Amino acid sequence: MKLTASLCVLLAPSLMADTATFAATDGSLTGVLQSLNKNGIIEWQSPYSREPLKLLADKLDQVEFSNSPESSQPAPIQFTLSNGDLLPATQVTGMQEAGLIADTTIAGEITIPRAAIASTQFGVTTQKVIYSGIDNIREWTTGIGEPDNWKRSGNSMIASGKAIAARDCQLPENFVLGFGLSWDSSSPNYSIGFADPLKGSSKQNLYTFNFDGSGIRIMRQTPEQSRSQILAQWQRRPSQFSNKSFLVELRVERSKGRMEIIIDGESEGMIVDPFDNIPSGSGVSIRCSGHSGSQTISGLTITELNDIRTRHLAEKRGDPSLDCLITNEDDRWSGQLLSIRGTPEPSMVIFKTSFSEETWEIPETEISTLFFANKPFQGNADGEPAFMIEFHGKGKLSAKECIITGDQVEAIHPLLGSLHIERSSIKLIRRIQK
Amino acid sequence: MIRSLVITVAAVLPMLHADHPPDLLRFTNGDQLHGSFQGIAEGPSLVWKRQDLDEIAKFGVNNLRHLVMRGGNPAVPLKSISLVELVNGDQIPGMVTALNDKEITIETSCAGSLTLERNKVARIAPQPLGGRLHYHGPFSPEHWEVTSYNRDEKQHQEQAKAEDEAPDEKAEAEDKQPAAAPWQHSGAAWYWKSSKPGTALILRNTIPRKSTLRFDIAWKNQLNLAIALHADFCVKQSPKQEDDDGKPEDKQRQRDPFVAHDSSCLPSIFGNAFILQIHSNYMVIYRTMVDAEGNESVKRVQTASNRLNIGENTTSTFELRSDLDNSSYSLFLNDKFIIQWTDPALRNENTKTISGNSLAFLPQIADAQIKISDVIIAEWNGMPDSARSLQVDDQDIILMTNGLDRLAGQAISLEENNTLRFRGKHGEFLLPLDEISELHMANGKRLDFEPPSGLQLKLRFSPMGMISGAPLSGDRKTLVLDHPLAGDMTIHNESVVMYEFNDSTDIFTDWDENF
């Protein structure tokens, strides 16, 4: 329950307000975190109080900061530390006996002990967006079916009765198609075609996502088969969605003839297309035929799927006593990382394989993933971390201590030691529940 | 029905040297004959000797199906499974001793040194399969069991077993009308020929804990086959009961009979196992369980998709990669990834985890027609994906023996001390040949092979290898072949276990003419 109702509002709440969430209750407080000292006392400037409030940090669940990041793109380099923390960086500038020297987006240049690193990924970027939102309904409905059965609301298309829409979305070979479905119809009936050649003939080559009273199905139409074939199905009927809505993500790899289905953030598994002649169409089509009420499709987005890094990070580790390097072209080598040369750019990684005496010099721009040999490392072993600091983009670091003074955050990391972090890079600080 | 060549003999004499079983010759009309292979003569014809023949016989090779030498056993097994695969599918046992941009030289295990143009080579495999080979066949019925879970059939089997025949009498008996058995071995395959399901073909104690298991299945009409993987046959022990004479009853007689399409009978047959129920259009995976108290249950392994599209009247290659210690199982069909799963029984403390090492095939419908061949079981090095999926048009691909490391580029040359010079995108490497599992030559640079017309004889080696060609001449120890890619080759027969004549691409020609 927010505290706003019981207090006289002296100042309008700042539009750029931090938010503190309390642990014991579901209360929250907006304001500006001015400082956090080593005694765990937060000075909190509330718009409802002339003097800063003194909050006890151990009574809060988290503080979410209002600062907006300069860029929403993740940092191109991601270190996964041996304790699971994620450290974003822009460049690895060198390697010394003490560890790797990296320019981080959050704390400037730091030295990361090798034994503290589990893996490093290079070239991390957000996937290229091909299409986002339904911005112009006419592009979907002109000349197709009965356009008047569609209405647009924000980034949603709402169908009343039988409605068809289609668009050439320039689907790349491998793509992620995401959308939300919601309905107040008693019997929703969706058929969303993808890799659709949009030819309008009866025998086409495409996939469809179907949702109706029978549940969810992924179907395959081929010109050679008189009927669509079910590739996968789930007995999840409309009545089982209490909110009458769910989110769908289809991760389609036409190059490998397979796709992954994710419903409300949970993977439902990988489907392999057993048929030849993988659909090559670039369109998306939507068919709704609920008999009463409305059916909505919203937030339709298409991004290019390049999951090479996700795949490489998920590969078997192999011999943990060896470093391992995987390139963007899928070459993989076990061996020893000898050094990293930061200049001239791009950084060069010097690697010696287990199978050969020669060394390998590879530009960092051509490396996907580096696994580091497991070596015992305790770091600063006193005490368990009390906080988790989460950064804009992707990144999180645990901290035993956290002192905030103005724009600077001083944190003691269990592996990296003392860090001076830019407050503007922090999205939130969360207390770690014991 | 297979007709037999009936031979009246006055006395039964030993056929061959006491150390090896006799050779076996099968004809295209179903006749079969034990004896001694003597070589290939002009015609070409196969020269055959039996002590009850007045003189040696010569059979035109066009009338022959198989020659199985020494009961499917080599005189001298190959010391290594390293091989070189050619663009026509031949797998020549041996090691590469020279390589450049134009030619590859192989020191074969059976035909001396052989030099071929590089574009005729598809794959060099110093350590194929990524590990130790445990089984390759079936070149003979040895190591296999046929067990019926159908009461009527079981009684028939017990009756046949009770007739204790001497080896020579058995050989003579096999020349006569053989008893109709549901599973029959012929050449390098097992054939299912029964009108009544419920008899399993079992290969016990051969699958290691981390394994790659590969086999070809051919079928006619609908396929409905249960394949038991990692079965332990730890079935419920029925309480001992005595029959009327006071002797304990055979516990197998107390087992529930096989019931087609009823998965609940599977634990009592296979114990703890994964059962792949394969149909023409779909597949279901079951986990059969027998807990510590002997309670049986079956659980279906949930998968997003159970779709297969293998159709009717065809053949497919199945490959299963399993890692029991990590409870990880992957199925490939025709070299394409199909599905991956873990053991659902892990969550149940009372249930035994999968630890069995046996393989079994159990047809599920009447009048099924199935052929099982090319069974290969090897230790698995952990290679996560089918090697063939890594093939690219313009680059050679190296896969290392640790099962994970790989490199694309160009194989340059074979250097002294057995190292391969390989050029990758970022440099040249010298890679020890004994650390290389396989080298796949670039797809786009291979010769487009046109199969020759005329008879092509296939020689199968033990434990691995296959060489084909037109037979020209030879004796029992050597054979001269006209190889479609290598020209005339002289093959030493000591590691050969089978000659396949008239190998048709039609899967039905090997089968009973009544099918």
d(CA B227, CA B213): 12
Question: Which structural domain, as residue segments, surrounds residue B468?
Answer: 23-73+450-500
Which chain A residue has its CA at the smallest distance from B396's CA?
A331
- Judged by CB atoms closer than 8 Å, whether chains meet at B336 and A268 is answered as no
Tell me the two tokens of residue B26: 């099968």
Q: Which residues contact B101 (CB under 8 A, 6 or more apart)?
A: B118, B412
- Residue position matching structure tokens 């030099």: B115
Q: What is the dihedral of CA A261, A267, A269, A272, to 10 degrees?
A: 30
- Judged by CB atoms closer than 8 Å, whether chains meet at A334 and B404 is answered as yes
Q: Please list every residue in chain B whose beta carbon sits closer than 8 Å to the beta carbon of residue A361.
A: 426-427
pTM: 0.75
Q: What is the distance, to the nearest Å, from the Cα of residue A176 to the centroid of all Cα atoms in its chain?
A: 13
Which 3 state secondary structure label does DSSP give B175? helix
Contact B85/B391 with Cβ under 8 angstroms? Answer: no
**B347 and B474 both lie in a single domain:** no
Contact B496/B40 with Cβ under 8 angstroms? Answer: no
Contact A393/A105 with Cβ under 8 angstroms? Answer: yes
Which chain B residue has its CA at the smallest distance from A260's CA?
B304
Tell me the two tokens of residue B329: 């199982």
Span(s) in chain A for CATH 2.30.30: 4-64
- Judged by CB atoms closer than 8 Å, whether chains meet at B428 and A358 is answered as yes
- Judged by CB atoms closer than 8 Å, whether chains meet at B425 and A329 is answered as yes
- Which region, left, alpha or beta, applies to residue A280 given φ > 0 means left and ψ of -120 to 50 means alpha? alpha
Give me the DSSP letters along A218-282.
EEEE-TT-SS-EEEEEE---GGG-TTSEEEEEEEEETTTTEEEEEETTEEEEEEE--SSS-----
Q: Which residues of chain B have pLDDT under 50?
A: 1-18, 164, 174, 176-179, 240-244, 246-254, 386-388, 505-515
Our CA angle for B134, B136, B139, nearest 5°, is: 135
- List, in sequence order, every residue forming a beta bridge with A432; answer none if it has no partner: none
Alpha-helical regions (H) of B135-221 = 151-162, 167-175
Q: Is residue B301 part of a domain?
A: yes
Nearest Cβ partner of B307 from A231, A234, A333? Answer: A231
Phi, psi at B500, each rounded to 5°: -110, 115
Query: How far is the alpha carbon of B446 from chain A, nearest alpha carbon, in Å?
Result: 22
- The radius of gyration computed from the CA coordinates of chain B, to the nearest angstrom, equals 24
**B364 and B404 both lie in a single domain:** no
Which chain B residue has its CA at the smallest distance from A323's CA?
B405
Q: Which pLDDT belongs to residue B145?
A: 92
- List, in sequence order, every residue forming a beta bridge with A361; answer none if it has no partner: A350
Which chain A residue has its CA at the smallest distance from B304's CA?
A269
Strand A163-168 relative to strand A408-413, pairing: unpaired
Q: Is residue B217 part of a domain?
A: yes
CB contact burial A226-251 (16+ within 10 A = b; e otherwise):
eebbebbbbeeebeebeeeebbbbbb
- Judged by CB atoms closer than 8 Å, whether chains meet at B304 and A257 is answered as no
Give chain B's domain count. Answer: 3
User: Is B337 in CB contact (< 8 Å) with chain A?
Assistant: yes
- Judged by CB atoms closer than 8 Å, whether chains meet at B305 and A357 is answered as no
**B284 and B416 both lie in a single domain:** no
Q: Which residues of chain A have pLDDT under 50?
A: 1-15
**B182 and B210 both lie in a single domain:** yes
Query: How far is the alpha carbon of A238 from chain B, nearest alpha carbon, in Å?
Result: 19
Give me the DSSP letters along B88-112.
TS-EEEEEEEEE-SSEEEEEESSS-
**B331 and B455 both lie in a single domain:** no
Nearest Cβ partner of A355 from B304, B425, B435? Answer: B435
d(CA B207, CA B322): 9
d(CA A326, CA A368): 6
Query: How far is the alpha carbon of A304 from chain B, nearest alpha carbon, in Å?
Result: 22
Which chain A residue has its CA at the smallest distance from B309's CA?
A274
Tell me the two tokens of residue A54: 């003194």
Contact B65/B458 with Cβ under 8 angstroms? Answer: no
Assigned CATH topology for domain A4-64:
SH3 type barrels. (2.30.30)
* Residue whose C-alpha is closest to residue A110's, from A331, A391, A411: A411
d(CA B380, CA A334): 19
Contact B437/B128 with Cβ under 8 angstroms? Answer: yes
d(CA A103, CA A109): 4
d(CA A29, CA A1): 10
Contact B149/B258 with Cβ under 8 angstroms? Answer: yes
Phi, psi at B70, each rounded to 5°: 55, 40
Q: Which residues contact A247 (CB under 8 A, 6 or more apart)?
A: A178, A179, A180, A263, A264, A265, A299
User: Is B402 in CB contact (< 8 Å) with chain A?
Assistant: yes
Tell me the two tokens of residue B288: 């059969």
Which 3 state secondary structure label does DSSP give B401? coil
Query: How far is the alpha carbon of A69 from chain B, nearest alpha carbon, in Å?
Result: 37
Which chain B residue has its CA at the smallest distance from A315's CA?
B384
**B335 and B411 both lie in a single domain:** no
**B414 and B465 both lie in a single domain:** no
Q: Please list every residue in chain A whose beta carbon sits closer than 8 Å to the beta carbon of residue B435.
A: 355
Contact B423/B407 with Cβ under 8 angstroms? Answer: no
- Judged by CB atoms closer than 8 Å, whether chains meet at B304 and A230 is answered as no
pLDDT digits (tens, 9 = 90+) for B175-204: 544 445 789 888 788 998 777 888 899 999
Question: Residue B251 carries which DSSP code?
Answer: H
User: Is B307 in CB contact (< 8 Å) with chain A?
Assistant: yes
d(CA A422, CA A415): 19
Q: Is residue B482 part of a domain?
A: yes
User: Is B52 in CB contact (< 8 Å) with chain A?
Assistant: no
**B326 and B423 both lie in a single domain:** no
- Judged by CB atoms closer than 8 Å, whether chains meet at B308 and A274 is answered as yes
Which chain A residue has its CA at the smallest distance from B428's CA?
A358
* Residue whose C-alpha is closest to residue B133's, from B489, B469, B514, B465: B465
Contact B99/B121 with Cβ under 8 angstroms? Answer: no
CA distances from B290 to A98, B237, B301 (A): 55, 11, 16
Q: What is the dihedral of CA A25, A30, A34, A36, to 10 degrees?
A: 20
**B327 and B413 both lie in a single domain:** no
CATH number at residue B347: 2.60.120.560
**B217 and B360 both lie in a single domain:** yes
- The radius of gyration computed from the CA coordinates of chain A, to the nearest angstrom, equals 26
Give me the DSSP letters along A332-353.
EEEEEEEEEE-SSSSPEEEEEE
**B198 and B323 both lie in a single domain:** yes
- Judged by CB atoms closer than 8 Å, whether chains meet at A360 and B426 is answered as yes
* Residue whose C-alpha is closest to residue B218's, from B514, B512, B511: B511
- List, in sequence order, every residue forming a beta bridge with B503; answer none if it has no partner: none
**B185 and B310 both lie in a single domain:** yes
Looking at domain A129-304, what is its CATH homologous superfamily? Exo-inulinase; domain 1 (2.60.120.560)
Span(s) in chain A for CATH 2.60.120.560: 129-304
d(CA B93, CA B465): 5
Q: Which of B445, B460, B489 is the last residue of a domain?
A: B445
Q: Which residues contact A343 (CB under 8 A, 6 or more apart)?
A: A93
Please report, as a single letter, which amino acid is at residue A47.
Answer: P
Tell me the two tokens of residue A118: 């589990």
Q: Please list every residue in chain A whose beta carbon sits closer than 8 Å to the beta carbon of residue B389.
A: 256
Tell me the two tokens of residue A165: 């829409």
Q: Please list every residue in chain A whose beta carbon sits closer than 8 Å to the beta carbon of residue B424.
A: 331
CATH number at residue B404: 2.30.30
